[in-house]
Amino acid sequence: SSASAPFSVPSAEKVDGFPRRSMRRARQRRSHSSSQFRYQSSQVELTPLPLLKDAPVAELHDLFCKKLQQCCVLFDFLDCVADLKGKEIKRAALNELVESVATSRGVLIEPLYPEAIKMISVNIFRTLPPSENPEFDPEEDEPTLEASWPHLQLVYEFFLRFLESPDFQPSMAKRYVDQKFVLQLLELFDSEDPREREYLKTILHRVYGKLLGLRAYIRKQINNIFLRFIYETEHFNGVAELLEILGSIINGFALPLKAEHKQFLVRVLIPLHTAKSLSIFHAQLAYCVVQFMEKDATVTEYIIRGLLKYWPKTCTQKEVMFLGEIEEILDVIEPSQFIRVQEPLFKQIAACISSPHFQVAERALYFWNNEYILSLIEENCQVILPLVFATLYRVSKEHWNQTIVSLIYNVLKTFMEMNSKLFDDLTASYKVEKQKELKRDRERADLWRGLEEHQDRRMQMLTEAARNQRNLQERGERGDPPSPSSPQTSHSDQPELKPSGASSSSSGGGESAT
Amino acid sequence: RQLRRNGGGGADGDDSLYPIAVLIDELRNEDVQLRLNSIKKLSTIALALGVERTRTELLPFLTDTIYDEDEVLLALAEQLGNFTMLVGGPEYVHCLLPPLESLATVEETVVRDKAVESLRKISQEHSPVDLEVHFEPLVKRLASGDWFTSRTSACGLFSVCYPRVSSTVKAEIRQHFRTLCSDDTPMVRRAAASKLGEFAKVLELDYVKSDIISLFTALASDEQDSVRLLAVEACVSIATLLPQEDLESLVMPTLRQAAEDKSWRVRYMVADKFSETFVSLQMYLCFNCIHSVLTIWLSDLCLLCPVSEQELVSDTNQHVKSALASVIMGLSTILGKDNTIEHLLPLFLAQLKDECPEVRLNIISNLDCVNEVIGIRQLSQSLLPAIVELAEDAKWRVRLAIIEYMPLLAGQLGVEFFDEKLNTLCMAWLIDHVYAIREAATCNLMKLVEKFGAEWAQNTIVPKVLGMANDPNYLHRMTTLFCINALSEACGQDITTKQMLPVVLKMSNDQVANVRFNVAKSLQKIGPVLDSNALQTEVKPVLEKLATDTDMDVKYFAQEAISGKHFTLINVNKLKMAIIKSEMHFNLLVFTVLVLA
């Protein structure tokens, strides 16, 4: 997961006074730039400073610092012709800073750390604007690009070079790259601009690698982002990038797995499969899941049962993705673990085979082309064949799609070769089983009919009882007070199940029972 | 109660018929759909079992088998909220707590929310003693749960048990709520912030001041903007609870801070809740406070919409501005004339020049509020360019919306101003390329005539409308007919007979069939306004001629007109008008929805 960002600025990105195509389009669509609050300082007039490479050694750090301060000035990129001179000065300064950090040794001394982090914070941290298309579909729609990218890219590049510099000292950086900083960095992963997310991914990866004290915090905050994504907003642009980082983090987990990590798998990674936009990050998610399994085979059962619990009910596209992930998992599954999950798993696979959507059926049937899976099936033929036989038999006769029918014939043939005795037995008992099933259905219908009749009878009884009671009560009332007062009369208009004088809370029950 | 008596009396003896195992098998069926069906009929099962066995056998089973499809759990959570009678009434309602407690901790938000909803419902059926013995411990367990889901659920339960428990327990509940407000996970803090207002309402005033305000302040400066904005929402309810002298010191600083928040989401929320908050504040607030808040907003707005550099206005603040524009007009009635002129007028004027049509429209559509306070004249010079621009907007829905406001504007601006500035616009809409606009323009003319009278119509509108009868575009010629349909009643018999009728009759020779059959329809419509002489001598021959037309539609409508429906026409006419009006209203609604969306 290394973003090899170009070191020098491609000429296309240079500000030449004419909007680039992407910028133009962005402008037409009222492109992103965050709050106007950011441009308050744009009144400041920038003056070019001497070049870093010409500076005498004694003044180098001072000049470096001044350039950092100069780069804290923000420009408005939505107006592409505004303050071109200032923009160019800042761009040149950023370029110099990038080059200096990347190539010269001994530049990064302690007093520069707070200045550098301040410059980075001022430039990159902003509240991301609302998506201009509220129904933004990352698969269909063009993302809105960040207008200030010509500067922003250089700031990210600087940050990356800063972190990767051999002079970089985590002990000094940790005072400035703290929890608050990391939290803001993580929020930026929601950016709609893929170029920005790519940089963020690499940068966060370096931060995680170098600043050990932040690791647990970073993992926790990523969890929170995912949980918010799953259960609250269903919207976060950077899920794939964060998962990519997690993939390499999981790779480095120590064994045995800590409870915290297992919890992350079960309560965050698996539920991520429920997201509507799964297709955007499914590859990365499946990679993480398989990483976990390869680390510790005992989590296999959690994973498979989790996937089965969240199996898509209506979205066939997602179903195909799930089947793909199951195959990836089965590719590396331990035979002992396979036995633990084969029953529920193959019930689901049978359900997929009988899907009227031929891609789902096809994807499931492809499992039989996988040699390792085939060997697992063969070893457990006694269990698996009875689970899928009825489905295969029925679908082979009914499916509308000829490819599916011929795939099923192949599967049936394979089974016949595996265990012809069992196959024949199942063929023979197919009709009987079918009859039994029909009988069970009938019994169920009878049971419910009986239950509902019972309910009706009970309701009738209750209503009758209520009526009797009311009559009794009315009679009592008529006898008791010589002239019934109006509130009482109105009271007895309602069907009441309780003797008068009981607590008022049961009147609600009277309503629900009638 | 009745159920329990029957149960106790042995009328419950269907045991042999429905052994629990069979019923539980149904709830455990492998097929999710069948399982779901069974859960949805859980009350039937409970009724078959009777209250005793529902309590002792069914509920423990349900509590144990909580690992299931979310859809099944959702159905279960809902069912249990209505189960009080089926377990034997309020005395036994606490039996329902264990399964609902498990459901309140599951991951899926929908299930959890439903479980909390059911818990809130049955909490009302608990006696005060049961509430302390059974319900409150459950809330405490949830509030100190390991995983965020249970703590999130707890947030929704404090306010339902607080009012009915003893003061010691109350203190504990307050403590738990405080803890959750500073929870480690933002999910829980969000849940707590969203229940802050609700919880404040059930607290004693002293505790509102001591506890809620500090929580409110803390949440409103949370590191996550998603938490901060929920705190802003709570501001409305908190403000209503506090006495006037405390508002300035306890609520306003936080509100001011939120109005200036660096996140647009928070500013948006403040803008959105602005007038609501104001309504709750206005009774008590001294003008100083309003001034200071308004100054902030004014600066915010100036910052947000640099009038001279419209290009600069970006997406971000459009949301904030739209929300603000929709509420800010309502403030004028609260602030009174002088303050409106001093503080709000510059805002209105700035917003009238906004590049976003929705913002401008929001201002114009709420003009009546301002009119009441300062009179529209103050605004008219700035209004005009805004109206003209909206009238020519590229989006027809925007044009449609401004047409809707024309009668209102005309009424407020007066006939001279209208003739001078707006009349041309109204006529231009008649030849718009979108039918809905032409239709609305026609209706608009009718309303204007109703407002300014027949004489005004005769001088200003009718000649122009009739002039269009010679337009080379048949759509424009038809517009003449539609206008005549709409105007004849308001203009009266004289104008209709002398000026309009000849034009209509002449158009019966139009070479376009659509025009001809609309002539027939028009004649039918204006018939009731004409005198019988004109009907007999002028209308009838033309209709008879049209009835022999080569085009079948022309024939049809001519025959419709002839077939003696003149007598009922007035009513039909009125009905049609009513329909047009209601359609316009609907269009307006649709537009509003679109703008808001």
The ipTM value here is 0.73
Average pLDDT, chain A: 81
Is the CB of residue B100 less than 8 Å from the CB of residue B118? Answer: yes
Read off the pLDDT of residues B319-334 as tens digits, 9 standing for 90 and up: 556 656 656 666 666 6
Phi, psi torsion values for A146, nearest 5 degrees: -70, 125
Residues of A in contact with B316 (CB under 8 A): 33-36, 129-130
Phi, psi torsion values for A148, nearest 5 degrees: -85, 20
Cα B443 to Cα A20, A214, B505, distances in angstroms: 47, 67, 22
> Scanning the structure block, which residue is given the tokens 């195959």?
A327
Work out the pLDDT band at A135, boundaries 50, 70, 90. Answer: low
**Are A506 and B44 a contacting pair at CB < 8 A?**
no
Least confident of A112-121, A457-466, B194-203, B551-560: A457-466
**CB atoms inside a 10 Å sphere around CB A102:** 16
Work out the pLDDT band at A247, boundaries 50, 70, 90. Answer: very high
Phi, psi torsion values for A250, nearest 5 degrees: -60, -40
Read off the pLDDT of residues B49-108 as tens digits, 9 standing for 90 and up: 888 888 888 888 888 876 678 888 998 999 999 888 888 888 899 889 999 999 999 888
Residues of A in contact with B43 (CB under 8 A): 455
Least confident of A123-132, A215-224, A497-506, B385-394: A497-506
Share of chain A above pLDDT 90, in %: 44
Higher-pLDDT residue of A82 and B484 is B484
- CA gap A159, A155 in Å, rounded: 6
HSE-CB of B23 using CA atoms within 13 angstroms: 29
Residue B434 has pLDDT above 80, yes or no: yes
- CA gap B3, B46 in Å, rounded: 11
Work out the pLDDT band at A328, boundaries 50, 70, 90. Answer: very high
Residues of B in contact with A78 (CB under 8 A): 311-312, 314
Work out the pLDDT band at B208, boundaries 50, 70, 90. Answer: confident
Read off the pLDDT of residues B279-308 as tens digits, 9 standing for 90 and up: 545 433 433 444 445 544 444 443 333 322
For chain A, what is the radius of gyration of the CA atoms? 34
What pLDDT score does B267 carry?
74
Q: Mutating which of B107, B124, B147, B226 best tests the A interface, going by the most A Cβ atoms within 10 A?
A: B107
Is the CB of residue A238 less than 8 Å from the CB of residue A189? Answer: yes
Residues of B in contact with A447 (CB under 8 A): 18, 22, 26
What pLDDT score does B117 carry?
94
Looking at residue A122, its amino acid is V
User: Which pair of structure tokens corresponds to residue B40?
Assistant: 């949805």
Helix spans in A296-334 (H): 300-309, 316-332
- CA gap B243, B137 in Å, rounded: 34
User: Which pair of structure tokens corresponds to residue B124?
Assistant: 């009302």
Name the residue among A37, A231, A513 with its Cβ closest to that of B262: A37
User: Which pair of structure tokens corresponds to residue A57?
Assistant: 């050694």
What pLDDT score does A94 carry?
92
Average pLDDT over residues B142-166: 92
Read off the pLDDT of residues A167-178 as tens digits, 9 standing for 90 and up: 898 998 999 999
pTM of the model: 0.66
Residue B228 CB partners (closer than 8 Å, separation 6+): B219, B220, B221, B222, B258, B261, B263, B266
Name the residue among B14, B26, B69 with its Cβ closest to that of A454: B14
Is the CB of residue B295 less than 8 Å from the CB of residue B284? Answer: no
Residue B234 has pLDDT above 90, yes or no: no
**Are A455 and B48 a contacting pair at CB < 8 A?**
yes
For chain B, what is the radius of gyration of the CA atoms? 34
> Scanning the structure block, which residue is given the tokens 């990483």?
A291
Looking at residue A171, its amino acid is S
Residue B458 has pLDDT above 70, yes or no: yes
Read off the pLDDT of residues B337-379 as tens digits, 9 standing for 90 and up: 666 676 667 667 776 766 677 777 777 776 666 666 666 666 6
Give the chain B residue nearest A77 (alpha carbons).
B312
Is the CB of residue A192 less than 8 Å from the CB of residue A237? Answer: yes
Name the residue among A37, A78, A180 with its Cβ closest to that of B311: A78
- CA distance, residue B224 to nearest chain A CA (Å): 9
Work out the pLDDT band at A29, boundaries 50, 70, 90. Answer: very low
Cβ-Cβ contacts under 8 Å between A and B: the total is 131
Is the CB of residue B250 less than 8 Å from the CB of residue B281? Answer: no
Alpha-carbon torsion, ordered B64, A326, A3, A119, to 10 deg = -10
**Are B186 and A224 a contacting pair at CB < 8 A?**
yes
Is the CB of residue B361 less than 8 Å from the CB of residue B402? Answer: yes
What pLDDT score does B502 carry?
87
> Is the backbone of residue B453 left (phi > 0), alpha (psi -120 to 50) or beta?
left
Residues of B in contact with A455 (CB under 8 A): 43-44, 47-48
